Structure 1
């Protein structure tokens, strides 16, 4: 019986490793330090509260639904205005989509625009990993790059998760 249990554990572990590799979990992100050249416009909704708040998750689903129903055109994105790990699970965020401009489409009810300004110095982390594992790869890479370059993170992050292409996080630095 012990042999079968051991064999089952090995099969499960190999299967999990294959799945993790398939979604890009073993890919290292590409890090660059750059300055944003143009403003990035987002359409969405602001949130302030606990990451465990029952209202936080539906914001993401609402944005995806607005995109799927054709109410908004763009790619899924968020701006975080703090580091939730250091703020004891309190999140200050703007959940939405990157849009081309602020005039070409009408916003759904309750949605607003936000701008991630041009001219900001940022650490940019990019990866082809799935959005399911990308944040867990991109944020530590940003922290390591900032530490190595002796840059101070301002804890303003823009996350972009396009359906095709690379996931990206821009972290504003001083």
Structure 2
């Protein structure tokens, strides 16, 4: 009986490892130091509060629904104005989509524009992985790179989740 339990446990472990591999969990982020050349426009909503708040999760779902229905065209994205890990689970974020410009699409009534400015020095991390595993890989890549290069981060981040599971983070350098 214990042999069968061991085999079942082994199959489950291989199944999880397979799913994790498929999602891109074993990939590492490519990280570089760059200067942004063009502004990045986001359409979305601002949120300040606890990550565990009932209002935070629906912002992502609303952006996803707008994207899937083609009401707004662009990549899912967020700007974080602080480091939630260092701020005791409190977040200041702008959640929405990266859009090409501020005039070609009509925004939903509760959406506004924000700009991630051009000319900023950023640590740019990229990975092809699912949005479920990408943030951990991207942020750990950014922090490791910044430590090795002795760079100080402003805790101002742009997350972008594009087509084909292409994810990236831009972290502004002081």
One fold, TM greater than 0.5? Answer: yes
CA displacement, residues 41-85 of structure 1 (integer Å, 9 cap, x when unaligned): 000000000100011111011111112222211111000111111
- Tell me the distance in 2 between the aligned counterparts of 1:101 and 1:25: 33
After superposing the two structures, state which structure 1 stretch, 3-12 or 88-97, moved more: 3-12
- Tell me the distance in 1 between the aligned counterparts of 2:5 and 2:82: 45
What residue number does 2:92 align with? 92
For the residue of structure 2 that corresponds to 1:64, the secondary structure is: helix
- Tell me the distance in 2 between the aligned counterparts of 1:141 and 1:92: 22
Contact 2:79 2:157 in 1 (8 A): yes
Structure 1 segments of 4 or more deviating over 6 A?
none
Contact 2:128 2:164 in 1 (8 A): no
Structure 2, gaps ≥5 residues long: none
Aligned pairs for 1:73-152 within 5 A:
73-152=73-152
CA displacement, residues 16-35 of structure 1 (integer Å, 9 cap, x when unaligned): 11111111111111010000
TM-score (norm 2): 0.97
What residue number does 1:24 align with? 24
TM-score (norm 1): 0.97
Q: Shift in Å at residue 6 of structure 1?
A: 1.4
Q: Shift in Å at residue 5 of structure 1?
A: 1.4
> Structure 2 vs 1, CA of residues 165 and 22 (structure 1 numbering), >3 Å: closer, same or farther?
closer
Q: Shift in Å at residue 141 of structure 1?
A: 0.7
What residue number does 1:57 align with? 57
- Tell me the distance in 1 between the aligned counterparts of 2:147 and 2:18: 32
- How many aligned positions are there? 174
Structure 1, gaps ≥5 residues long: none
